[in-house]
Amino acid sequence: MRTALAFLQTGADTVACVTSPAGPVASPRTGLPAVFAPPFSLAPDVPPWFEAGGESLAVLSPDEWRRQFPGPSRPIRLPAWGAPDEARFADAFRGLASRLADGSLRKGVPITRMSAAVAPDDAETLAARLLARVPDLPGSLFAYGLYRPASATGTGAPEFVVGATPELLFEVDADGRLSTMAVAGTRRADAESASLASSVKDRDEQAAVVEDLVTQLSAWGRPEVAGTIVRSFGTLAHLTTDIRVDAGGALDFEEVARRLHPTPALGVYPRGEAGSAWLAGIDPDGERGRFGAPFGLRWPSGAGRCVVAIRNLQYRAGRLDIWAGCGVVSQSRYEDEWQEVLDKMQAVRALWGV
C-alpha cells in the first residue's frame, strides 16, 4: 500500500473509501469530501481534517471492497502481544474513585493498552491483512480507518488506525436532522447480556450518557429520546439509546463533533474543570492517539457520519496498540471493570484476527 487511504462504513453493505486524501489540513474546502480524524484531545496544533478530491471518493460493496483490498501478497507473523498495562488502569481508577466519592464526578472512563512490536517493513503487510477483513465484520459495527504510508508520515514508517466501533457519535443530513446514540454497559453477547437490562450500575452509566447528550443537543432543538435496549455488537453487548434532534437548518460538521466529544461513554460526567483535569491526567502525553476520538466523513453536501473510534488497532513508530476503557460509577467494583477491559481487548484481537 503506497498511497494514503481513509474509510468509513456508511450502510450495512457499503463502505465509503477515500484514496490519496490530502492533508492533514485545518479546515477542508466547502463542496469537497473530507475525513475528520483528530486525536482524542482535539489538540489545537494538530490539523484534524484530511481533504479529498471528489474523484477519490467511492462507495464500495463488499465484493468491490474484496477486489480492491484482497489482502497481503506475503504471509506475516502475528503480533506478539505484551501484557495489558494494569498499573496504568489502576492509577486512573483510584484517581476517579476519589472524585466519585467527593461528588465532583458521577462517571469517568479509565483506559489502558496492550502493545506489540511490529517492524515498519511489516506494518504495510499487516494493514493490508486488516483491510481484507472489513467485509466480514459483524454488520452491527461501523468499520473505519486511516492509513498513511511512510512517504506521507515523514517518519520512515507508515501509520494507521483500523477499527470497528459500536458507537455512532452522530449522523447529520444537509437539512440539520441529527441522530446519535448513547452506549454504555458491557457484557459478553451470550446469556450474560440479559443481565444488562436489570443492572443498576450499568443503567446509571447509561443515564449519564443520555443526560449529557440531551444537554448538548438541546443547543439545536428539542431532542427525541427512544427507549433503552440491549444490543449485540459482535461478541459484546451494550445498553443503547437512540436520540434525535431536528436543528431546522444546516449544521457545521466540526462544530457538532466538538460539542458532543467526548460523551460520558468515553469521557466524564458531568463535564467541567474537574473532569477535564482527570482526563488530561490519565493520558498526559497523548499516547492514546485516536482511541475514543471522533472519526468521520463529511460529504460534499455538508452532511456526514461520525463514529467514536474505539475497538481499534493503532500503529505508529514500530508499535501496535490496542486501547480499552470502561465506564466507572460509584457502584463499580475494580475486579469487574478490569475484566471488562480484558474482554474488550480480546474482542478486538478476535475481530481483527490478531
| Domain 5-352 listed as CATH 2.30.110.10 | no
Burial class of residue 274 in the structure, from the number of CB atoms within 10 Å of its CB (0-12 exposed, 13-18 middle, 19+ buried): middle
Beta strands 236-246 and 224-225, pairing class: antiparallel
Q: What is the pLDDT of residues 127-141, one digit of tens each?
A: 999 999 999 999 899
Q: Taking the model in full, what pTM does it have? A: 0.95
Residue 82 CA to residue 97 CA, distance in Å, equals: 27
Residue 259 gets the label, from left (phi > 0), alpha (psi -120 to 50) or beta, of alpha
**What mean pLDDT value characterizes the chain?**
94
Residue for grid cell 455538508? 302
- Contact residues for 277 (Cβ-Cβ < 8 A; gap 6+): none
> For 14-119, where are the alpha helices, taking DSSP H only?
62-68, 86-102
Reported as a pLDDT band with limits 50, 70 and 90, residue 94 is: very high
pLDDT of 17 strictly over 90: yes
Reported as a pLDDT band with limits 50, 70 and 90, residue 260 is: very high
pLDDT of 63 strictly over 90: yes
Residue for grid cell 475486579? 335
Residue type, 187: R
Beta strands in 139-228 (DSSP E): 142-148, 159-165, 168-172, 177-188, 224-225
Residue type, 289: G
Reported as a pLDDT band with limits 50, 70 and 90, residue 153 is: confident
pLDDT of 73 strictly over 70: yes
Residue 135 CA to residue 139 CA, distance in Å, equals: 9
Q: What is the pLDDT of residues 192-216, one digit of tens each?
A: 677 888 889 889 899 999 999 999 9
pLDDT of 36 strictly over 80: yes
Higher model confidence: residue 194 or residue 273?
273
- Contact residues for 11 (Cβ-Cβ < 8 A; gap 6+): none
For the chain, which residues make up each domain, given as ranges?
Answer: 5-352
